[in-house]
């Protein structure tokens, strides 16, 4: 065998490279997939929390005796639902709207519908606070729920 053939055969050996290639490729593929799973789980949890907050806000509002008490109770219900998932609470994240009531009429009159809309932002996990990245890595979520007002003596 010629000397340069022996040298080139030693340089081109591939035994022992498969475990290293598997580890490198596994880490390169696995880390983004794990992060994607964590981010989707955070967004789904925030979405479910906002949906539950909107539903409870509408239910609590229609069961109140007055408009002011209903708005305060709905605001507390949203606060509890968002705090349960550790989501931030902002001014104006709850909007209540009256459907079916005439202009200037009471929202709690029988036969009306109250729609509650809740908005917040879900922070993506493990985003550092440098260069303002934590403010950019947020996903807005919103949910709307409607509840009818039933009062005695009125048609549902």
Return phi, psi of residue 26, to 5°. Answer: -65, -45
Name the band, by pLDDT with cuts 50, 70 and 90, for residue 57.
very high
Q: Which has more confidence, 47 or 154?
A: 47
Task: Name the CA radius of gyration of the chain, rounded.
Answer: 28
Asked whether residue 35 is domain-assigned, the answer is yes
In the numeric block, the tokens 């997939």 are attached to 33
Digit-coded pLDDT (tens) for 69-84: 999 999 999 999 999 9
Please tell me whether the overall predicted TM-score, pTM, comes out greater than 0.95 for this model.
no
The C-alpha atoms of residue 131 and residue 16 are separated, in whole angstroms, by: 42
Least confident of 35-44, 105-114, 134-143: 105-114
Asked whether residue 111 is domain-assigned, the answer is yes
Return phi, psi of residue 137, to 5°. Answer: -90, 60
Joined tokens for residue 62: 């229609």
Sign of the CA dihedral running 85, 99, 110, 69:
positive
Asked whether residue 13 is domain-assigned, the answer is no
Asked whether residue 9 is domain-assigned, the answer is no
Number of domains forming the structure of the chain: 1
What's the pLDDT at 154?
46
**Partners of 99 in beta bridges:** 113
Domain assignment of residue 136, given as a range = 18-148
Asked whether residue 88 is domain-assigned, the answer is yes
Asked whether residue 46 is domain-assigned, the answer is yes
Asked whether residue 3 is domain-assigned, the answer is no
Asked whether residue 1 is domain-assigned, the answer is no
């Amino acid at each position: 065998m010629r000397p340069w053939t022996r040298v080139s055969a030693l340089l081109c050996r591939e035994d022992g490279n498969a475990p290293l290639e598997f580890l490198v490729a596994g880490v390169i593929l696995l880390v983004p997939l794990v992060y994607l799973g964590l981010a989707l789980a955070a967004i789904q949890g925030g979405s479910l929390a906002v949906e539950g907050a909107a539903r409870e806000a509408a239910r609590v509002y229609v069961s109140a005796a007055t408009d002011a008490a209903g708005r305060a109770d709905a605001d507390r219900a949203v606060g509890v639902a968002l705090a349960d998932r550790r989501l931030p609470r902002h001014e104006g994240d709850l909007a209540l709207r009256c459907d079916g009531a005439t202009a200037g009429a009471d929202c709690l009159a029988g036969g009306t519908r109250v729609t509650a809309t809740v908005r917040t932002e879900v922070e993506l996990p493990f985003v550092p606070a440098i260069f303002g990245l934590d403010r950019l890595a947020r996903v807005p979520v919103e949910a709307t729920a409607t509840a009818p007002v039933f009062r005695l003596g009125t048609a549902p």
